Structure 1
Amino acid sequence: MTRTLILMRHAKSSWDDPSLSDHARPLNARGIASARAMGDWLREKGHVPDAAVSSDSQRTGQTFTELGFDIPVTYTRALYHAGPEMMMEVLQGQTAQIVLMLGHNPGIANVADRLVTQPPGHPRFMDYPTCATTVMRFDADTWNDIGWREGQPIDFAIPREVMG
């Protein structure tokens, strides 16, 4: 059996209101458009998640909403600025076959790099800009069976490319 991970950084957030905490910052107009475009791209490519797990920040939650998937989502503080080990722990607690995980840099870039067997040949993979998305597949019966460097990269995209 295979497991598929869709690993996405939140879309572009707004810095317009300096009174907001980092956790409470919403998406800006570009971020909303990017999230919608990435949702369309995922559907066009056939990468439709069964469930999602997301940081509980405003911008990750709003990114998930704008993707337009009607799937169960779990919001957790554990993914708010999490490092690779915490992200792996959260992932290994999932049960769906195709999981969308939404998080923040630098953790999301680091976990993407550590999970794939080899980086996709894309110049933006290592810096993982806002709303960057990697789709990777694992040969595993459960998420507990996966390890570092076992994810086969299937797709990688950034909003600028899918929006034209």
Structure 2
Amino acid sequence: MASRLYLLRHAKAGWALPGMRDFDRPLDPSGVADAETTGVAMRARDYVPDLTLCSNAARARQTLEGIAGNADTGKVLFFDDLYREDAAGYLKIIRENGCLGSILVIGHNPMMEDLAMAVASDGEEEACATMHAGFPTSGLAVIRFDEGLCEAAPGKGFLEAFITPAEA
């Protein structure tokens, strides 16, 4: 059973105000617009996850709102661990929730970039070149697996597309 993993780095956030935790930083106006643009691009390409795993950080939740206002996000689960885990922790959470056809993960860098690079050992040339240039805010990696995501592992994915708001 083929499956898709959508890895979305949260949209651009503002700087933390004095006394504000990093966890609570909101999106800035360009981040709000980029999240909406990414949602429109997902709908246009028929990228519809069965499940969305979202960091509980304010900027990730607001990114989800921008996506959900423009595209279907399936069932949504929130995880504090997507704020603090490394790429291996992200993969563990995906595998634990991965017996579905597709999952969207909304999280943070460097975890997103590290995970995308680890699982997608091959891919479309242009998508790979874009991703290898850096994983910008609102960047979306679309990775196909031949098996279900509960079997996702390093080197098993194929990068089908890498979308940024500038190219959406």
State the TM-score, normalized to the length of structure 1.
0.91
Deviation at 1:71, TM superposition (A): 2.3
- Aligned residue runs from structure 1 range 7-156, under 5 A: 7-15=7-15, 17-68=17-68, 69-94=72-97, 95-118=99-122, 120-140=127-147, 142-156=148-162
CA contact (8 A) 1:81 1:107 kept: no
Instruction: Please state whether the residue corresponding to 1:160 is helix, strand or coil.
Output: coil
**What is the total number of aligned residue pairs between the two structures?**
161
CA contact (8 A) 1:13 1:25 kept: yes
Supply the distance in 1 between the matched residues of 2:13 and 2:154 (Cα, whole angstroms).
Answer: 30
Supply the distance in 2 between the matched residues of 1:51 and 1:147 (Cα, whole angstroms).
Answer: 19
State the TM-score, normalized to the length of structure 2.
0.89
Moved more, 67-76 or 25-34: 67-76
Supply the distance in 2 between the matched residues of 1:79 and 1:16 (Cα, whole angstroms).
Answer: 19
Corresponding residue number in structure 2 for 1:159? 165
Aligned residue identity for 2:139 = A
Deviation at 1:98, TM superposition (A): 1.1
Moved more, 122-131 or 142-151: 122-131
Deviation at 1:159, TM superposition (A): 1.1
Corresponding residue number in structure 1 for 2:6? 6
The 3 A distance-change label for structure 1 pair 112 and 39 is same
Moved more, 122-131 or 100-109: 122-131
Deviation at 1:126, TM superposition (A): 4.6
Moved more, 94-103 or 28-37: 94-103
CA contact (8 A) 1:138 1:146 kept: yes
Deviation at 1:143, TM superposition (A): 2.2
The RMSD of aligned alpha carbons is 1.5
Supply the distance in 1 between the matched residues of 2:79 and 2:36 (Cα, whole angstroms).
Answer: 22
